[in-house]
């Protein structure tokens, strides 16, 4: 059995990061929105409220921290190849790179892998948790827009029935209007603190309007469930790092709960609230991902791969792999090599 290794994760003051669907120019990008409502009462949108982690592989260059922005959080980053589990949060996340990206994304919906050029935007919908693998060094901008603003603007733009909207996540979208909004927000990072509240209020609502018109679907029957308190981005990162370092071991709920200092039942609720997966589902997903990488190495036999990925035996690995990937490890190895 492999010796267990604990990995410490770190988070900086303010970072940059990415859920939903996209499109083109909207003639009424700037309707006359009211500035009253819940969003006006919120404090500054901070790094700790996002899904972004600042660590050895993700360095913070500049952020909106300290500027007093309540509806939007922005971070500019330099990043090395890495993997990260991004928790579900009540905000839309837009990620764009200035250098191009090789990205593999896993979620409860499945897996996507794509290489795309600079300036395309990845949209992650509010309430969606994702595990991303970044395959190349890059420079990026991460923008988060509060769910409260989306709800507020939807109520002003649509009928009561149509106001319940679902943002559609996209791995990459070429949306010139969205790029223009993000460029305007990036330029605003140079404004003096607390000097541009009205401008940022306008930009956040115009961005919400565009997202709702071009990257959402009506969902009249949706009822927002009460949410359990979720693990923070830092806690999710610590748990994910520990799982990766000990994936070949027999991980238990007790040891995962101990990482964040809570009981088993509370950990289970808070992990699921943050990731939309149970710890067991997440561990299986990561074991399958590791198995795929090992299967591409013809020097490794299937029995060794099963052990290194934490499966009881080769048969357990094969049956679980087929359930997740819809092909056996042998079939996958033939296609991968």
Given 1.10.10.60, 3.30.9.10, 1.10.10.10, 3.90.550.10, which CATH number is that of 233-336?
Answer: 1.10.10.60
* Spatial separation of the C-alpha atoms in residues 207 and 72, rounded to whole Å: 10
Q: What is the CA radius of gyration of the chain?
A: 21
* Spatial separation of the C-alpha atoms in residues 322 and 284, rounded to whole Å: 12
* Spatial separation of the C-alpha atoms in residues 114 and 155, rounded to whole Å: 35
Instruction: Note the pLDDT tens digit of each residue in 132-182.
Output: 999 999 999 999 999 999 988 888 887 766 667 889 999 999 999 999 999
Answer for the pair 277, 129: CB distance below 8 angstroms, yes or no.
yes
Q: Which two tokens stand for residue 94?
A: 């837009």
Q: Which residue has the tokens 């892998």?
A: 113
Q: Which residue has the tokens 């404004």?
A: 191
Structure confidence at residue 135 (pLDDT):
95
Residue range(s) occupied by CATH 2.60.120.10 in the chain: 38-218
CA distances from 238 to 48, 57, 87 (A): 14, 14, 12
pLDDT at 246 over 70: yes
Cα dihedral 183, 185, 188, 193 in deg (nearest 10): -160
Structure confidence at residue 167 (pLDDT):
92
Pairing outcome for strands 216-218 and 165-167:
antiparallel
* Spatial separation of the C-alpha atoms in residues 172 and 39, rounded to whole Å: 29
Counting residues of the chain whose pLDDT is more than 90, the rounded percentage is 59
Distant-in-sequence, close-in-space partners of 266: CB < 8 Å, separation ≥ 6: 257
Structure confidence at residue 312 (pLDDT):
83
Structure confidence at residue 12 (pLDDT):
37
Structure confidence at residue 41 (pLDDT):
54
Q: 250-283: string of b/e by CB count within 10 Å (b at 16+)? A: ebebeebbebbebeeeebbbbbbbbbbbebeebb
Return the minimum-mean-pLDDT range out of 26-35, 57-66, 123-132, 263-272: 26-35
Instruction: Note the pLDDT tens digit of each residue in 58-103.
Output: 999 999 999 989 999 999 999 999 999 999 999 999 999 999 999 9
At residue 188, the 3 state secondary structure works out as helix
Instruction: Note the pLDDT tens digit of each residue in 1-32.
Output: 334 444 333 333 333 333 333 333 233 333 33
* Annotation: CATH topology of 38-218: Jelly Rolls (2.60.120)
pLDDT at 185 over 60: yes
Q: Is 227 exposed, middle or buried (0-12, 13-18, 19+ CB in 10 A)?
A: exposed
Q: What is the mean pLDDT of the chain?
A: 83
pLDDT at 190 over 50: yes
* Spatial separation of the C-alpha atoms in residues 177 and 94, rounded to whole Å: 13
**Closest C-alpha among 227, 131, 113 to residue 171:** 113
* Spatial separation of the C-alpha atoms in residues 324 and 50, rounded to whole Å: 29
Residue range(s) occupied by CATH 1.10.10.60 in the chain: 233-336
Structure confidence at residue 64 (pLDDT):
96
What is the pTM (predicted TM-score) of this model? Answer: 0.67
C-alpha 12: how far from chain center: 17
Instruction: Note the pLDDT tens digit of each residue in 210-243.
Output: 999 999 887 654 434 445 688 998 999 999 999 9
């Amino acid at each position: 059995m492999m010796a267990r290794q604990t990995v410490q994760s770190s988070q900086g003051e303010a970072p940059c990061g990415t859920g939903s669907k996209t499109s083109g120019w909207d003639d009424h990008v700037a309707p006359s929105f009211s500035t009253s409502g819940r969003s006006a009462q919120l404090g500054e949108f901070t790094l700790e409220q996002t899904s972004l982690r600042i660590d050895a592989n993700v360095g913070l260059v500049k952020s909106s921290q300290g500027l007093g922005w309540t509806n939007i959080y922005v971070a500019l980053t330099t990043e090395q190849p890495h993997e990260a589990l991004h928790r579900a949060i009540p905000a839309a996340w837009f990620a764009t790179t200035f250098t191009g990206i090789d990205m593999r994304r896993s979620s409860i919906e499945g897996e996507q892998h794509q290489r795309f050029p600079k300036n395309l935007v990845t949209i992650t919908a509010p309430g969606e948790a994702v595990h991303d693998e970044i395959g190349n060094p890059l420079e990026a901008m991460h923008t988060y827009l509060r769910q409260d603003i989306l709800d507020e603007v939807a109520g002003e733009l649509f009928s009561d029935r149509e106001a319940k909207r679902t943002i559609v996540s996209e791995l990459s979208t070429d949306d010139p209007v969205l790029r223009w909004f993000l460029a305007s927000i990036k330029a605003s990072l140079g404004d003096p603190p607390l000097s541009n509240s009205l401008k940022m209020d306008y930009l956040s609502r115009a961005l919400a309007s565009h997202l709702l018109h071009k990257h959402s679907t009506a969902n009249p029957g949706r009822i927002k469930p009460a949410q359990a308190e979720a693990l923070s981005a830092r806690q999710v990162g610590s748990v994910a790092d520990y799982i990766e370092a000990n994936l070949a071991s027999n991980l238990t709920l007790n040891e995962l709960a101990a990482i964040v200092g809570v009981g088993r039942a509370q950990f289970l609720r808070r992990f699921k609230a943050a990731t939309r997966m149970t710890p067991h589902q997440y561990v299986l997903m990561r074991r399958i991902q590791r198995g795929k990488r090992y299967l591409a190495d013809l020097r490794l036999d299937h029995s060794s791969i099963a052990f290194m990925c934490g499966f009881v035996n080769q048969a357990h690995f094969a049956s679980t792999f087929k359930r997740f990937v819809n092909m056996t490890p042998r079939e996958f190895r033939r296609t991968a090599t």
